[in-house]
Structure 1
């Protein structure tokens, strides 16, 4: 078990009616100017926007509107947010939405306090600011667990790339599972698989320790509750479990004492840079193909995964047979969620030229038992084109 330092800075306020019970009290600690950051029109259509502005105004706050944050937030939007924070002398940012909104806000938060171009600071100067404008989250779409950490996935259109940038962790996160009732089912299914992906990418990293056992329990719970949700999509207890399931992996508790094995995420990030792919849906296409390529390199771990996460029966099977069955269980779960199994089904306009560019430019995890050469990454993607 490797040495580690662990710190979980985010206060979580979980349960129904969290905004009414907690928001006004939490904001007493911050100044008057509140930037309200959100994505599209659903926040307003649901009535949540009016509820939030009412609470803020009652608390004597000035609301600075910052809407229009898109899925796969861009660096241009980050810069726009930085300009707004500085111009309006924002004291606190309230992020309302899912992972895209929160990712954008946490990078805005830190970039607003930094000097110079933030992308250059991180990737050329290797300078990592340690503070930012404080912010909090109202989570309306679970899956990414973005509310629990200080990392943000940002697309840089000028450079044709998507990267994870350091930002500030939230001061608090209000997680109300009733908000998931308004999310389209396919989008929520995408979030469920994204969450499972976070768990699997950590789990299949080098080393084994107690963190893996905790991870197995959460993965099992994700699958169990996802199946229950498909049968009973308005059950708040089920939605609550899925929401908390998505938060736990992004506390990075399952990373303690071992290395992560993230490879599908860097591939998807580069694919997104070229196609604007939906994160969770594209991961659902990539994962089974990637695992078919590496299952023979770590059959014992895949066999254990199959038994403890998918309840596969090992009787009469070799370790490799059980491992192969575990990979296909992941593929079958994608279909259970109603997600697509190829880029064509997903509606992505990809050809071999784009897939080769993805393979040539994506990050490669060198800590795995076998590092995939770029030609094999291309073939892996081509198999699910």
Structure 2
């Protein structure tokens, strides 16, 4: 394995009833002032009882609530600036992010921007920065599984003016605590649950399909996680309130992005780069965009990483290797992935996401970063070719 340094300062509290049991004490002990900023998305938490449980816990802690609502699915830098203003105006001492990855990502950026006098986008997202100050403390309550944002410092933010969607991972932005009650995900629409589950699978594949290719612990863990996500998505689609499946999907999402599986790996994430820019221009659903792109992208690179793609076929999809060449197995693994995507109801073309010939695919392709960790480094011309094949 390659050399690495590992750090994860987030304490995960997982299981049914964990919010009611722990949140009040955590707010009391971790809020630096008398005000907690309660951040959430479109208001679904007010319909499913989560909001009432959360606010009751904050009131029990003796803290005042300031609300930051309306965080969108692709959080913008303008929304981050709005949240930072609320933190400063209300003398907030703790941010409580309740939601999925978008809410968590936005709040990580808010926790930084609220205590930074410069241009947070330019200095921390436009380019890598150095955080030499303490961001506002952050606790997250996960209500939608998929991004794994609850146990890392990553935040994907869209700058609408620049048409750039990018993510940075700063360990200083890790939440202090992540409260994870799988029953909170029951009210998530099935389509969103499937999209989030595929995002998890994508995170794992983007790490798996990269060097090193010799036997290593990270790849072994990822094969088990991929098999688990596939199994648990199928079970959750059959019964959306299957607690075993939903709890597994929640922890699988966390394991995909808590930095453990990335140890010693180069990582690819070209497909994420492509989807991020597609999202910056079209605001398409992240997981669904990845589902469309992945098979086409892998058809372009699988022969360059045939050994790993063949292993993917046999270890993850149980394809028998007898009588098949490495390249044949590699292609079969990709096509089985494509069949799985279609079988669980995810879109398979960009047209299904509202993208057509009127979309400036060349501009999107030219805006994509070409990452060095892939088995084959893309050119902007090949990225455009992939987009067109996805139509």
Q: Quickly name the TM-score band, shorter chain normalised.
A: over 0.9
Counterpart position of 2:105: 103
In structure 2, the residue corresponding to 1:25 is in which secondary structure? helix
In structure 1, the residue corresponding to 2:165 is in which secondary structure? strand
**Residue of structure 2 aligned with 1:373, choices 355, 379, 385:** 379
CA-CA distance at 1:326 after TM superposition: 0.2
Counterpart position of 2:253: 246
Counterpart position of 2:367: 361
Conserved in 2, the CA contact under 8 Å of 1:12 and 1:175? Answer: yes
CA-CA distance at 1:306 after TM superposition: 1.0
**Residue of structure 1 aligned with 2:198, choices 188, 193, 199:** 193
Supply the RMSD in Å over aligned alpha carbons.
Answer: 1.4
Take 2:125 and 2:237, find their aligned partners in 1: how far apart are those partners?
A: 42
TM-score under structure 1 length normalisation: 0.97
Counterpart position of 1:113: 115
CA-CA distance at 1:231 after TM superposition: 2.1
More deviation in 260-269 or 368-377?
368-377
Counterpart position of 2:356: 350
Take 2:143 and 2:262, find their aligned partners in 1: how far apart are those partners?
A: 26
Conserved in 2, the CA contact under 8 Å of 1:38 and 1:69? Answer: yes
Take 1:351 and 1:150, find their aligned partners in 2: how far apart are those partners?
A: 37
Q: 1:117-196 alignment to 2 at 5 Å?
A: 117-122=119-124, 126-130=128-132, 131-166=134-169, 168-196=173-201
Q: How many pairs are equivalent? A: 384
Conserved in 2, the CA contact under 8 Å of 1:36 and 1:95? Answer: yes
**Residue of structure 1 aligned with 2:320, choices 307, 313, 316:** 313
**Residues 367 and 55 of structure 1: CA distance in aligned 2, closer, same or farther (over 3 Å):** closer
Take 2:350 and 2:120, find their aligned partners in 1: how far apart are those partners?
A: 33
Conserved in 1, the CA contact under 8 Å of 2:28 and 2:63? Answer: no
Once the two structures are superposed, residues 121-158 of structure 1 have per-residue CA deviations (whole angstroms, 9 ceiling, x without a partner) of 22567532143100111100000001010110000011
Conserved in 1, the CA contact under 8 Å of 2:99 and 2:141? Answer: yes
Counterpart position of 1:27: 27
In structure 2, the residue corresponding to 1:127 is in which secondary structure? coil
Once the two structures are superposed, residues 258-280 of structure 1 have per-residue CA deviations (whole angstroms, 9 ceiling, x without a partner) of 21111000001111110001100
CA-CA distance at 1:353 after TM superposition: 5.2
Conserved in 1, the CA contact under 8 Å of 2:114 and 2:136? Answer: yes
In structure 1, the residue corresponding to 2:320 is in which secondary structure? coil
CA-CA distance at 1:74 after TM superposition: 0.3
Conserved in 2, the CA contact under 8 Å of 1:143 and 1:192? Answer: yes
**Residue of structure 1 aligned with 2:228, choices 221, 227, 242:** 221
Conserved in 2, the CA contact under 8 Å of 1:140 and 1:179? Answer: yes
Q: 1:212-361 alignment to 2 at 5 Å?
A: 212-346=219-353, 348-351=354-357, 354-361=360-367
Take 2:359 and 2:344, find their aligned partners in 1: how far apart are those partners?
A: 30
Conserved in 1, the CA contact under 8 Å of 2:8 and 2:174? Answer: no
In structure 2, the residue corresponding to 1:298 is in which secondary structure? helix
CA-CA distance at 1:29 after TM superposition: 1.4
**Residues 125 and 48 of structure 1: CA distance in aligned 2, closer, same or farther (over 3 Å):** closer
Take 2:390 and 2:359, find their aligned partners in 1: how far apart are those partners?
A: 15
More deviation in 359-368 or 265-274?
359-368
Take 1:179 and 1:269, find their aligned partners in 2: how far apart are those partners?
A: 27
Counterpart position of 2:209: 204
CA-CA distance at 1:317 after TM superposition: 1.2
**Residues 124 and 343 of structure 1: CA distance in aligned 2, closer, same or farther (over 3 Å):** closer
Conserved in 1, the CA contact under 8 Å of 2:125 and 2:167? Answer: no
Unaligned runs of 5+ in 1: none
**Residues 126 and 235 of structure 1: CA distance in aligned 2, closer, same or farther (over 3 Å):** closer
More deviation in 44-53 or 25-34?
25-34
CA-CA distance at 1:338 after TM superposition: 0.9
Take 1:342 and 1:353, find their aligned partners in 2: how far apart are those partners?
A: 14
Unaligned runs of 5+ in 2: none
